[in-house]
């Protein structure tokens, strides 16, 4: 992958990255009468009588709002709503490219959680789903929770749950390769923000019992009095106070913190066949080369595309919303998230098509330490994850579509890729 210059980056974004295309004909007077007045009154009356018909007669069924207040933009921090717009447009590009979902970016010049919920609730009739993005913790937890309770469409804060699902998929496969029992391993999470807490909760759902979480002040332990309610859930009775303390005897390290905080010496103190997900971007907590210098039995992942096992949220959010939208889900449940993680884990065990290998400049990819997570641009992710999510929505009773045929749905998705 070539190095991108500032000039290239600015040139790429001139005029923005998304636009609106018209799907229906609008070339004649009759077309105009159908698109607008008087013909448009007919679907309006139908929807007035039955609001569910908005899914049939408007773009609601395939439209997601990407909403931010610009307080936690990846790698940039609190840069404000308008400065975060290029990132939100980029998210909309990924929705369209990977799952053919239309997405509008909405940047809010508002920081009060209750007001953000109120605004999003007022906007909800327009959309089939809401993707919250780059909102600072801990208010992101409150906003997601209150908003989902207030609307009847799926709401997901991707910074939390996308990372949790992808790393959980990797963990499932790492457990199988190493032969370890997730209930007996020691997990260290460096970074107690939105993603770190969501990951820890999902690991618990998978059976993890021993998680040590670390924030900017050190280990989150039971004697601390400065913890938010979300962090307090992970406070342990322990004498560990530093990252180095916590890493001793650890089986897994998840980094969602700062570049270079993990040393070779720390890696050496971990248990056999450790899992190391160093996800600070673009510079990880420790580089794979440094881990390899310390030991040769680690399974390593980063947020970068130029190393094996990239943890990339694009493997999650487009397909989760695709499945949720297609069964007209009212919310995204924990089972839907877990279904996505398990579908990704299972896909990594399947033979990898040659075109996927070619896209990443390798001759072969096969299940093992250097391939525990599927690659972006693998078209099979759509037909693996979306149906699993849709089925979980039906099973959980949150889908408006009742007569769901998973096999028929997979065939429809395959047709859409041609």
Structure confidence at residue 57 (pLDDT): 97
Structure confidence at residue 409 (pLDDT): 97
List the chain residues with pLDDT less than 70.
1-2
Encoding tokens for residue 133?
A: 């993005």
Calculate the average pLDDT of the chain: 95
Give Cα separations from 215 to 73, 242, 278 (angstroms): 19, 10, 15
Structure confidence at residue 282 (pLDDT): 86
* Contacts of residue 159, Cβ cutoff 8 Å, sequence gap at least 6: 72, 74, 132, 133, 134, 135, 140, 194, 195
Helices (H), 36-157: 41-49, 54-57, 85-99, 113-123, 139-150
Encoding tokens for residue 239?
A: 């004498």
CB atoms within 10 A of CB 91: 24
Are the beta carbons of 105 and 89 closer than 8 angstroms? yes
Comparing C-alpha atoms, which of 236, 237, 231 is closest to residue 215? 231
Structure confidence at residue 416 (pLDDT): 87
Determine the Cα–Cα distance for residues 196 and 203; give it in Å rounded to an integer.
11
Structure confidence at residue 281 (pLDDT): 87
Structure confidence at residue 2 (pLDDT): 62
The tens digit of pLDDT for each residue in 272-308 reads 999 999 999 889 999 999 999 999 999 999 999 889 9
* Contacts of residue 42, Cβ cutoff 8 Å, sequence gap at least 6: none
* Contacts of residue 405, Cβ cutoff 8 Å, sequence gap at least 6: none
Residues with catalytic roles: 36, 91
């Amino acid at each position: 992958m070539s190095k991108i210059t500032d000039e290239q980056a600015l040139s790429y974004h001139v005029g923005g990255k998304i636009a609106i295309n018209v799907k229906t004909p609008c070339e004649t007077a009759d077309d105009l009468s159908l698109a607008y007045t008087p013909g448009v009154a007919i679907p309006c009356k139908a929807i007035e009588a039955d609001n569910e018909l908005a899914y049939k007669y408007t773009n609601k069924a395939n439209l997601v709002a990407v909403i931010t207040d610009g307080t936690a933009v990846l790698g940039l921090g609190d840069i404000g709503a308008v400065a975060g717009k290029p990132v939100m447009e980029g998210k909309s590009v990924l929705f369209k490219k990977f799952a053919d979902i239309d997405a509008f970016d909405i940047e809010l010049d508002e920081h009060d959680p209750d007001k953000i919920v109120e605004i999003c609730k007022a906007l909800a009739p327009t959309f089939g789903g809401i993707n919250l993005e780059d909102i600072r913790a801990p208010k992101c937890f409150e906003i997601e929770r209150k908003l989902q309770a207030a609307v009847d469409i799926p709401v997901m804060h991707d910074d939390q749950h996308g990372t949790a699902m992808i790393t959980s998929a990797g963990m499932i496969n790492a457990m199988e390769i190493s032969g370890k029992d997730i209930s007996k391993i020691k997990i260290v999470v460096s970074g107690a923000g939105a993603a770190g807490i969501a990951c820890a909760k999902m690991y618990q759902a998978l059976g993890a019992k021993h998680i040590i979480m670390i924030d900017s002040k050190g280990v989150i332990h039971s004697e601390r009095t400065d913890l938010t309610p979300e962090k307090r859930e992970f406070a342990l009775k322990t004498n560990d106070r530093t990252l180095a303390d916590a890493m001793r005897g650890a089986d897994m390290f998840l980094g969602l913190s700062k570049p270079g905080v993990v040393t070779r010496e720390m890696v050496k103190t971990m248990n056999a066949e450790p899992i190391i997900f160093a996800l600070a971007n673009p510079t990880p907590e420790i580089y794979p080369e440094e881990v390899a210098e310390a030991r040769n039995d680690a399974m390593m992942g980063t947020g970068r595309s130029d190393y094996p096992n990239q943890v990339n949220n694009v493997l999650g959010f487009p397909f989760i919303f695709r499945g949720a939208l297609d069964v007209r889900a009212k919310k995204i449940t924990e089972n839907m998230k877990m279904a996505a993680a398990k579908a990704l884990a299972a896909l990594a065990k399947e033979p990898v098509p040659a075109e996927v290998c070619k896209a990443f400049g390798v001759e072969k990819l096969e299940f093992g330490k250097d391939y525990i997570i599927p690659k972006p641009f693998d078209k099979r992710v759509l037909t693996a994850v979306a149906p699993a999510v849709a089925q979980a929505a039906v099973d959980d009773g949150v889908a408006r579509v009742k007569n769901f045929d998973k096999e028929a749905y997979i065939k429809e998705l395959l047709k859409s890729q041609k």
